[in-house]
Structure 1
Amino acid sequence: MPLDIRVIPCRTDNYAYLLHDPASGETALLDAPEAAPILAALKDTGWSLGQILITHHHADHVEGVEELRAATGARVLGAGEDVHRLPPLDRELAGGDSVEVGGSRGEVIEVPGHTVGHIAFHFPDSRAVFTADSLMALGCGRLFEGTAPMMWESLSRLKELPGDTLVYSGHEYTASNAKFALTIEPDNESLILRSEAIAKARSEDRPTVPALLEDELRTNPFLRADLPEVKTLLDMDGYSDADVFAEIRQRKDDF
Structure 2
Amino acid sequence: MLTLIPAFQDNYIYLVHTPHGLWIVDPGDDQPVLEYLESRQLRPTAILCTHHHADHVGGVRALVERYDLPVFGHGSRIPQLSHPVAEGSLEIDGETIQVLEVPGHTLDHIAYLWQDHAFCGDTLFAAGCGRIFEGDPQMMYSSLQKLAALPDSTQICCAHEYTESNLRFATAVEPENPTIAERKKQVAQLREQNHPSLPSTLKEERQSNPFLRCRETDVIRAARAHGARNDSDVEVFAALRRWKDGFR
Write the mapping of 1:1-255 to structure 2, written as runs, cut at 5 A.
4-22=1-19, 24=20, 26-79=21-74, 82-83=75-76, 85-100=77-92, 102-123=93-114, 125=115, 127-235=116-224, 239-255=231-247
Query: What's the % identity of the aligned pairs?
Result: 39
Where structure 1 has 5 or more consecutive residues not aligned to the other structure, the ranges are none
2-structure distance, mates of 1:99, 1:8:
24
Q: Residue 230 of structure 2 contacts residue 236 of structure 2 at CA under 8 Å; is this kept in 1? A: no
Q: How big is each residue's C-alpha offset from its partner over 1:227-252, in whole Å with a ceiling of 9 and x where there is no partner?
A: 23421343469621011000100100
CA-CA distance at 1:254 after TM superposition: 1.1
* 1:163-221 Cα distance to aligned partner (Å, 9 max, x none): 00110001111111111110000010000000111112112211111011100110000
Structure 1 residues 54-106: Cα deviation after superposition (integer angstroms, max 9, x where no partner): 10010000100011001111111110xx21x2202111111114242x33211
- The Cα of 1:40 is off from its aligned counterpart by 1.7
Q: 2: CA distance between counterparts of 1:179 and 1:229?
A: 16
29-38 or 198-207, which moves further after superposition? 198-207
Conserved? CA contact 1:231–1:237, under 8 Å: no
Letter in 2 for 1:222: F
Q: TM-score, normalised by structure 2?
A: 0.94
Query: Structure 1 residues 179 and 237 mapped into 2: Cα distance closer, same or farther (>3 Å)?
Result: same
| Contact 2:51–2:106 (Cα < 8 Å) also in 1 | yes
Give the letter for the 1:119 counterpart: I
Query: Take 1:135 and 1:74, find their aligned partners in 2: how far apart are those partners?
Result: 27
What is the aligned-residue RMSD (CA, Å)?
Answer: 1.5
CA 99–11 in structure 1, closer or farther in 2 if over 3 Å, else same: farther
**Residues in 2 aligned to 1:179 and 1:224: alpha-carbon distance in whole angstroms:** 16
Which one-letter code corresponds to 2:29 in the other structure? E
Q: Provide the rounded CA distance (Å) in 2 between the counterparts of 1:112 and 1:234.
A: 23
Distance 1:239 1:50 in 2: 47
Q: Do 2:127 and 2:166's aligned partners in 1 also have CA atoms closer than 8 Å? A: yes
Q: Could you tell me how far apart the structure 2 residues matched to 1:240 and 1:116 are? A: 23
Whole-angstrom distance in 1 between the partners of 2:67 and 2:190:
34
The one-letter code matched in structure 1 to 2:167 is A
Give 3-state SS (helix, strand or coil) of 1:116's partner. Answer: coil
CA distance in 1, matches of 2:62, 2:54: 14
Runs of 4+ residues over 3 Å off in structure 1: 232-238
Aligned residues: 244
The DSSP-based 3-state class of the residue aligned with 1:49 is coil
* Preserved CA contact (<8 Å) 1:27 1:50: yes
TM-score (norm 1): 0.92
